[in-house]
Structure 1
Amino acid sequence: MFWIVNARRLKQYLIIITAALFAIGIAWAERDNISIFTSGKNGPNAIYKVDTKEKKLALTFDISWGEERTGPILDILEKKGVKKATFFLSSPWSETHPEIVKRIKDMGYEIGSHGHKHVNYSSLTDEEIKAQIGKAHETLRELTGNAPNLIRTPNGDFDKRVLKIADKMGYTVVQWDTDSKDWMNPGTEQIVQNVVGKAHPGDIVLMHASDSCKQTHLALPTIIDQLRGKGYEFATVSELMAGTKVNTKEIK
């Protein structure tokens, strides 16, 4: 009797554990569907796309380290005649690569902040968040002559506090709706599919120009050609946001 009861109880436990793991799996699979967040009603928000019927989207590139990938990516954008894109630059990288920052600016591309240290802002105190944003702000302002007002936080990490602090410092937090996943180095064809297969009007596309992403420059020409083949035009994030409706979802 003892073993029968415990066998039944063990079976119940296994069912509960299986159900819990299944629920976690669903939550993990759905994580990319979380779109845009606000700190509350009428509060500052993080933008991942805009509502528009126009076939316009923003190609964005994060840069935190390295010097081998940015040049080829800029060469491709120039060769393909892509006049508009947005680059999010970290301040340590910018300080050590002022000539590349200048080239990005001279080519007319939009420059946003990617913060200072590559750490999750939600793990920092309010004062530390302010210091990270402030340091990057001053560095980029000195190097470009312009004060940035867009920020993509390191790892795309933020919470309500980050949104509110960034807003008070004059920044809009920019996320993405299409992730190229070039940071995984999954192969050129997969990167192309990740972008072209999901791109939509008002989209913000995440790519990288850091050295750890070794295949972005190989996939980029095909991405540009195929998006144009579908009728898309390229815009900066700011241009995409201007005069369009932004969806919001409150962080609980």
Structure 2
Amino acid sequence: MKGIWVFNLKKWKPLLFICIASLFVASWLFIQRDHISVFTTPDGPQAFYRAENADHKIALTFNISWGEQNVLPIVNILKENDVEHATFFVSASWAETYPELVKEIADSGFHIGSHGYRYKNYTAMDDEQVIKDMRRSKQVLQELTGETPTLLRPPNGAFTTRTLALAEQQGFDIVHWSVNSYDYKNPGTAQIIDNVLNATNSGDVLMFHASDTVKQTGAALPTILKELEKRDYELATLEELMNSADATSNEVN
């Protein structure tokens, strides 16, 4: 005689409830994943500089702290090459001086992040000064763009674990870089191209500058963008990279 399986709902009801609850929580976390800080860890907040397993996605970033001559030419080069995603980290004191350029960047569809208010290393300030600078930069950029900046690249890229903690308190994620074009050294167009193309891999954050101090970035960009396209790289937002499952962060003292 074959055995007959009888499902005892009363007996399995607690287990069934746990399974349903677990699925609900997992689904909620999946939906909310874009709103969870990727870089707050048991060891504290960390700075993002590249993502692992990014499926040929990279991020393009520019720092601006001085001058007006290079911004529009660089923005136009990006648009001419059909670049949809780039982040401009701007010093808020610069933004106050050139609000029309900030508007042009935003109207072109590019993201604006904070490069601090004053262009002064956070490592040379006390906590109160750093907090004041972060808050002021956020206020200025919010007033100029209508959006609250959430990404911060400290002036000169200088930060400590204390800076990371203060940035987290002010609602910022600190973004560093993994590929440095060294365009600020004005080493020549060919050298800037080599600096970028020889170092770029999936998940990288590329750093350029759009201040008047750089003289060859505009000349190098078209070749770099075309070659990256040939290599099947996709220019993504920093948020896309930051939301990658495996994120790599800097260790600082």
Bucket of the pairwise TM-score, normalised by the shorter protein: 0.7 to 0.9
Please say if residues 84 and 236 of structure 1, whose CA atoms lie closer than 8 Å, have aligned partners that are also in contact.
yes
Give 1:4's aligned residue.
Answer: none
Change (3 A) 1:249 1:101: closer
**Counterpart in 2 of 1:136?**
137
The amino acid across from 1:228 in the alignment is E
Matched, 1:78 2:67: no
In 1, the alpha carbon distance for the partners of 2:249 and 2:177 equals 13
Which amino acid in structure 2 is aligned with residue 97 of structure 1?
A: Y
Whole-angstrom CA distance in 2 between matches of 1:227 and 1:39: 32
Q: Secondary structure, in 3 states, of the residue corresponding to 1:246?
A: strand
Distance 2:68 2:245 in 1: 35
CA–CA distance in structure 1, aligned partners of residues 127 and 57 of structure 2: 36
Amino acid at match of 1:44: P
Contact 2:54 2:244 in 1 (8 A): no
Q: Which residue of 1 aligns with 2:208?
A: 207
In the alignment of these two chains, the number of paired residues is 215
Q: What letter matches 2:155 in structure 1? A: P
RMSD (Å) for aligned C-alpha atoms: 1.4
Return 5+ residue gaps in structure 2 as ranges: 1-38
Distance 1:135 1:70, change over 3 A: same
Given that residues 49 and 204 in structure 1 are in contact (C-alpha distance below 8 angstroms), is that contact kept between their aligned partners in structure 2? yes
Deviations 1:187-210 (A, max 9, x none): 000000001110010100010000
* CA distance in 2: counterparts of 1:53 and 1:153, whole angstroms: 25
Contact 2:52 2:244 in 1 (8 A): no
User: What's the counterpart of residue 115 of structure 2?
Assistant: 114
- Deviation per CA, 1:196-228: give whole Å up to 9, x if none: 110010100010000001110010000000111
- Return the TM-score normalized by structure 1: 0.82
Q: Does 1:98 align with 2:96?
A: no
- SS in structure 1 opposite 2:247? coil
Distance (whole Å) between structure 2 residues aligned to residue 205 and residue 249 of structure 1: 15
Given that 2:50 and 2:249 are in contact with CA atoms closer than 8 Å, whether structure 1 keeps it comes out as no
- After TM superposition, the structure 1 = structure 2 runs for residues 23-62 of structure 1, keeping only pairs within 5 Å, are 41-62=42-63
How far apart are 1:40 and its partner, in Å?
7.6
Larger radius of gyration: 2
One-letter amino acid of the counterpart of residue 244, structure 2 = G
Counterpart of 2:6 in structure 1 is: none
Matched AA of 2:208: M
Q: In the alignment, which residue of structure 1 is the partner of 2:20?
A: none
State the 1:53 CA deviation: 4.3
Structure-2 residue corresponding to 1:64: 65
**Any unmatched runs of 5+ in structure 1?**
1-37
